[in-house]
Amino acid sequence: SSADEEYDVVFIGGGPGGYFGAIKASQLGLKTACVEGRGKLGGTCLNVGCIPSKALLESTHHYHMAKHDFADHGIAVADVKIDLDKLQEKKREVVEGLTGGIAGLFKKYKTTWVQGWGKIISANEVSVALEDGNNKTIKAKNIVIATGSEPAPLPPCPVDNAKKRIVDSTGALEIDTIPEKLVVVGGGVIGLEMASVWARLGTEVTVVEFLDKICPGMDGEIVKTFQRTLQKQGLKFKMKTKVTGTEVSDTGVKVTMEPSSGGDSETIDADVVLVATGRRPYTQGLGLEEMGIPMDKAGRVEVDDHFRTNIPSIYAGGDVIKGPMLAHKAEHDCAAIAEIISGKAGHVNYDTVPGVIYTSPEVAAVGATEEQLKEQGIAYKKGKFNYVANSRARAIRQTEGFVKFLADKETDRLLGAHIIGPNAGEAIAEAVIALEYGASAEDLARVCHPHPCLSEAIGETAMATAFGQPIHS
Ligand code: FAD
Ligand code: NAI
């Protein structure tokens, strides 16, 4: 092993958790290293998650608009064609630009990237298996586990991303010929985003969902509209259904399924099957058992309210701990850890972490759902506003969807915001600020929104919630 190096903090994992936390730590004056074995920084998000999926969603959205929506604007385009190779090449360019950008930021902030796979061997030491086969030990006053997550396997559907018949999200991002038939197992975020990509390119998509609704955990009213919208776009759903077996051949996959509660099975043909039934924390080879660092039943590293494991010098953040498996949550976890290590008060409010689904229209949410408020017995009032009554939505001809606010019945304090509609992902940011600052619906109703903008729908929903009625509806 080569000479020991000593740091104030070492992050294990270079995803949105690790790289973000490492830059923050460097900015706070800590001598910082980040161990990443993938060969690129950026983790799941930049390499095989958020970014490539959004690149594909954007490109296919343009294609779909050119084919189906331009005529409605009086634009005639004949013979719209898709060049899948080019589309994939552009996606790779986006990914490379961004992962390279992180490496550039590491240089700028003097953050050391140790390229290899890390294993915790003591409270202050990480052994790194380098690419050349050697090991090196780095010493650090603090260690942060930010090793993220991986697709959870589903036994009846063994994934082989190289063969491209049964794939997980990583394989689904690399499909190089448009499948005729795609079966998506799991009607969650990954399943529906990827289903949208391929459906726009003409693939016949069937989503198989175990439960009676897609995106469990999301507000019920939103989910209903969302599923109807996706059905209008051609997606087929097999609800309350589980896949029990698959048979792969050179020409495709036979997928056998039956009702979730048991019953007659049926078999459908697919060219490709995407397994998207959830992700699990990734802690393989990290040495947690040897170190006696506890994990919960789901395999998540257990931490206290300050991201500390049972070993005071070892912290964890991002997908590998509790909370939503989202890039921005991972970033905030690990930035807070950097602050805590440098003696500041780092904190993340999990009640105001927004979630966005980048379909068309987008779906976005923050805070409590109506179902949660009912369950908790909290008296609430509700305001809704449809985008069809928003002038900008009319002008851009994207009138599908609505905004829904939930506020405390007594105090008018905003408790939840749910949006399905054009640019919902950008629109939710305003509600996040409102919730974070403890604003009332009336506070937001009195905020001046520019006209004609989609954000006026936020103001109108706040009026509906605070005063019982909006103006334009
Ligand atoms: P990761 O990003 O998983 O990074 C962990 C890194 O640690 C990896 O690079 C891994 O190689 C490395 N590593 C693991 N073990 C070791 C070790 N022992 N030594 C060295 N390195 C190690 N989230 C959103 O917010 N918005 C989205 O639009 C979105 N889209 C997604 C789309 C897809 C298809 C997928 C799969 C995920 C998506 N996510 C999205 C989720 C998002 O990618 C994750 O929440 C985020 O990447 C978590 O960050 P992290 O740093 O905790 O872990
Ligand atoms: P998910 O938890 O969102 O959805 C999984 C779905 O599969 C659920 O609807 C579940 O009921 C269903 N399911 C589970 N077992 C099943 C079975 N045996 N048969 C049929 N259906 C089954 O998980 P997903 O979509 O894999 O995504 C993982 C995580 O990645 C998300 O929770 C999210 O945190 C993150 N992500 C975020 C994105 C975003 O923010 N836009 C995009 C993609 C992923």
Spatial contact of 53 and 169, defined as CB atoms under 8 Å apart = yes
42 lines ligand 2 (CB under 6 A): no
* Cβ 277 under 6 angstroms from ligand 2: yes
How far does the centroid of ligand 1 lie from the alpha carbon of residue 45, in Å?
5
Distance CA(159)–CA(167), nearest Å, equals 5
pLDDT of residue 5: 77
Residue type, 106: F
Distance, in Å, from the CA atom of 123 to the CA atom of 313, rounded to the nearest integer, reads: 6
Helix axes 84-108, 16-27, angle to 10 degrees: 30
Atom of ligand 2 nearest to the CA of 186: 7
The ligand 2 atom at the shortest distance from the C-alpha of residue 215 is 9
| pLDDT by residue, tens only, the chain of 473 residues | 444 579 999 999 999 999 999 999 999 999 999 999 999 999 999 999 999 999 999 999 999 999 999 999 999 999 999 999 999 999 999 999 999 999 999 999 999 999 999 999 999 999 999 999 999 999 999 999 999 999 999 999 999 999 999 999 999 999 999 999 999 999 999 999 999 999 999 999 999 999 999 999 999 999 999 999 999 999 999 999 999 999 999 999 999 999 999 999 999 999 999 999 999 999 999 999 999 999 999 999 999 999 999 999 999 999 999 999 999 999 999 999 999 999 999 999 999 999 999 999 999 999 999 999 999 999 999 999 999 999 999 999 999 999 999 999 999 999 999 999 999 999 999 999 999 999 999 999 999 999 999 999 999 999 999 999 999 99
d(CA 3, CA 190): 43
At 3, the amino acid letter reads: A
ipTM over 0.95: yes
pTM passes above 0.90: yes
Using most ligand atoms within 8 A of CB, pick from 38, 45, 58, 331 the residue to mutate for ligand 1: 45
Rounded to the nearest whole angstrom, what is the distance from the C-alpha of residue 217 to the centroid of ligand 1?
Answer: 21
185 C-alpha to center of ligand 2: Å? 9
Question: For ligand 2, is residue 173 a contact (CB within 6 Å)?
Answer: no
Residue 296's region, left for phi above 0, alpha for psi from -120 to 50, else beta, is: beta
Q: What local confidence, expressed as pLDDT, does residue 2 receive?
A: 47
The whole-angstrom separation of Cα 147 and Cα 2 is 24
| Residue 451 appears among annotated catalytic residues | yes
Which residue type does 346 have? G
Mutate to test the pocket of ligand 1, among 10, 19, 44, 432 (most ligand atoms within 8 A of CB): 44
Distance CA 383, CA 298 (A): 37
pLDDT of res. 4: 59
Q: How far apart are the CA of 216 and the centre of ligand 2, in A?
A: 9
The CB of 276 under 6 Å from ligand 2? The reply is yes
Residue 380 in contact with ligand 1 by CB distance below 6 A: no
CA of 168 to the centre of ligand 2 (A): 11
The pLDDT of residue 447 is: 97
Residue list for the binding site: 54, 118, 147-149, 186-193, 209, 278, 319, 325-328
Q: One of 306, 347, 451, 472 is an active-site residue; which one?
A: 451
